[in-house]
């Protein structure tokens, strides 16, 4: 019995080491997971802080409202075949609307890929996101004549949030 106990005690450092390694690995995974979540929330909050003062976002939202007031005119403006027929100020409006679309598209892609926290963005920007898309829909459909992927991720996000 004494010999068996001594043999077990001789193996004790191995088991303590193995348990310590498993414990450290488990805590490491937990820390990485926590760090990812923290980074995602931090990125989301930085995005939200930036949007509040972003000229593209503010200007784009105003232009989206104009799209809603004159959908036919903006649909024509969005048609890539008529871009050269537009006045310089209309061309500038089209370019600004495309920037606004790109902002929403980038945000939707960030949410889809886990870079941004969807719950935070949805609770604060859902109505603006959905209404801007709805107002700009005729314009977006016209833009898609040359690039059928324009606004696709934004559209998926809007469809998901409408439910």
Tens of pLDDT, residues 1-17: 556 545 554 554 554 54
**Residue-wise DSSP of 100-152:** HHHHHHHHHHHHHTTSS-HHHHHHHHHHHHHHHHHHHHHHHHHHTTT-TTTTH
For residues 113 and 13, the model is more confident at 113
Helix (H) or strand (E) holding 44: helix 2-53
Angle, CA of 64, 113 and 142, to the nearest 5°: 30
pLDDT of 21 strictly over 90: no
CB distance 104 to 129 below 8 Å: yes
Cα dihedral across residues 32, 120, 102, 57: positive or negative: negative
pLDDT for the residue 20? 43
Contacts of 112 (CB under 8 A, 6+ apart): 153, 156, 157
pLDDT of 19 strictly over 50: no
Tens of pLDDT, residues 47-102: 888 877 888 888 888 888 888 888 888 888 888 888 888 999 999 999 999 999 99
Integer angstrom CA distances of residue 65 from 56, 75, 90: 14, 14, 15
Q: Where are the domains of the chain?
A: 1-38, 54-162
pLDDT for the residue 80? 82
pLDDT for the residue 112? 94
CB distance 61 to 136 below 8 Å: no
């Amino acid at each position: 019995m004494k010999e068996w106990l001594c043999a077990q005690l001789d193996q004790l450092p191995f088991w303590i080491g193995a348990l310590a390694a498993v414990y450290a690995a488990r805590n490491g995974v937990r820390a990485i997971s926590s760090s990812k979540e923290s980074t995602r929330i931090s990125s989301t909050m930085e995005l939200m802080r930036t949007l509040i003062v972003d000229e593209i976002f503010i200007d784009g939202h105003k232009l989206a409202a104009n799209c809603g007031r004159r959908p036919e005119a903006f649909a024509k403006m969005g048609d890539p075949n008529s871009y050269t027929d537009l006045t310089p100020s209309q061309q500038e409006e089209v370019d600004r609307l495309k920037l606004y679309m790109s902002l929403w598209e980038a945000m939707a892609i960030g949410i889809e890929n886990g870079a941004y926290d969807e719950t935070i963005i949805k609770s604060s920007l859902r109505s603006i996101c959905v209404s801007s898309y709805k107002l700009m829909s005729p314009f977006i459909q016209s833009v898609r004549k040359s690039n059928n992927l324009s606004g696709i991720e934004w559209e998926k996000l809007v469809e998901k949030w409408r439910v």
